[in-house]
Homo-oligomer: A and B are copies of this chain.
Amino acid sequence: MQQVTVDLGERSYPIQVGAGILDGNPELCRLAQGRTVAIVTDTTVDRLFGTRLADTLLPIAHRLIRIALAPGETTKSWESLNHIFDQLLSHQFDRNSLIVALGGGVVGDLAGFASATYQRGVDFVQIPTTLLAQVDSSVGGKTAINHARGKNMIGAFHQPRLVIADTSTLVSLPRRELAAGLAEVVKHGAIADPAYLERVSAAMPRLLAHDPDELAAAVLDSIRIKAAVVARDEREAGARALLNFGHTFGHAIEAGAGYGSWLHGEAVAAGMVMATDLSVRLGHIAEVDLARMKSIIGEAGLPLQGPAWPVARYLSYMSIDKKAVRGVPRFVVLEALGRARTQEVDPALVALAVSANTVAAAAG
């Protein structure tokens, strides 16, 4: 078992990474000791790991309830949030209760936001069971639900007390979801560490084959990069925005397609191609860098192109992106493979970067 600490003063917390570290986890047992505990998960993950986790917590907790929601992005809604609140209140959960989020990004974001707002904030633990959640969403305290007009529009910064990334839970992960998680792994390399980007590329076949050692190494390295960025900028006033590389485009794809039809990582993959293309147009990097990014994203089996929509459709979904400042969208762009920055960009350039990387453009 390896451990990374997210250094945030009194809100610091450990992220534990390793295979099989969930069962009887001592740090989890210490946190749950004598408290009312709610496991929040989805029905798929509940079938796989719910009983294992409950077996660990039952002898320890004062009282334990399990809340299993429908799987999928549509669960990140007001309705699910209220269902959680109803359960917590009907079981008389107080401020000293503990919420344990067991699942992927949807469960983590939703249960995290419930923890942030139930009685103005209770402790929570993240147990991410997808690669995407292990390398990205479970780290850094971003919690949210979706709104019809935009993804993650309602939320809070609320740091967990502990993250347990048990890589043995990834064995059952479908290849499509594994690949979607690799999009964020590639992103971490692209914005922060060129050597890591190349290591990921070299390891790609073994990663896609669920090789446990490669997965553990990639999860650990990605978490280290993300934890360092979050420690510098908890509330995304500056450096943290770099983690949104590919996300302004990606969110537009997800929102425009209807949440759930594109996996988040797939949308981010196509979004990274657009953002890299934009970086070329801005003169920051060369065509060869764009080709290299496309090659690595392609090795992961991820899409290189967005849906065949008019550019205006992309732009309209981008205009309400959270990173926009008074309607002028800011973008994370690459200064080199392995180094990123944010800047405002002329919408005309954005339009070119989009249209060059949609299915329609490729067909033309």
Contact = CB atoms under 8 A, between A and B. Distances in A.
A325 B120 contact: no
A144 interface: yes
A136 to B, nearest CB: 16
Nearest to A329: B94
A5 B154 CA distance: 30
Contact of A322 (B35, B36, B94): B94
Contacts of A96: 325-326
Interface stretch (A145-153, A192-200, A244-252): A145-153
A74 interface: no
Nearest to A324: B94
A29 B121 CA distance: 32
A343 to B, nearest CB: 16
Nearest to A118: B154
B36 A326 contact: yes
Q: How many copies does the complex hold?
A: 2
A95 interface: yes
B120 A326 contact: no
A15 B275 CA distance: 44
Interface string A144-166: 10010110111111000000000
Contacts of A113: 117
Most B CB atoms within 10 A — which of A147, A152, A155, A326? Answer: A326
Contacts of A327: 92, 94
A142 interface: yes
A320 B92 contact: yes
Contacts of A156: 116-117, 120-121, 156
Given A89-B149, A89-B150, A147-B89, A120 B157 contact: yes
A326 B37 CA distance: 11
A121 B322 contact: no
Contact of A153 (B89, B121, B154, B155): B89
B324 A153 contact: no
Contacts of A150: 89
Interface of A: 35-36, 62, 78, 82, 85-86, 89-90, 92, 94-96, 113, 116-121, 142-144, 147, 149-150, 152-157, 235-236, 319-320, 322-327
18 contacts: A62-B326, A85-B153, A86-B149, A89-B147, A89-B153, A92-B319, A92-B324, A92-B327, A94-B325, A94-B326, A95-B323, A113-B117, A117-B117, A117-B156, A119-B153, A120-B152, A120-B157, A121-B156
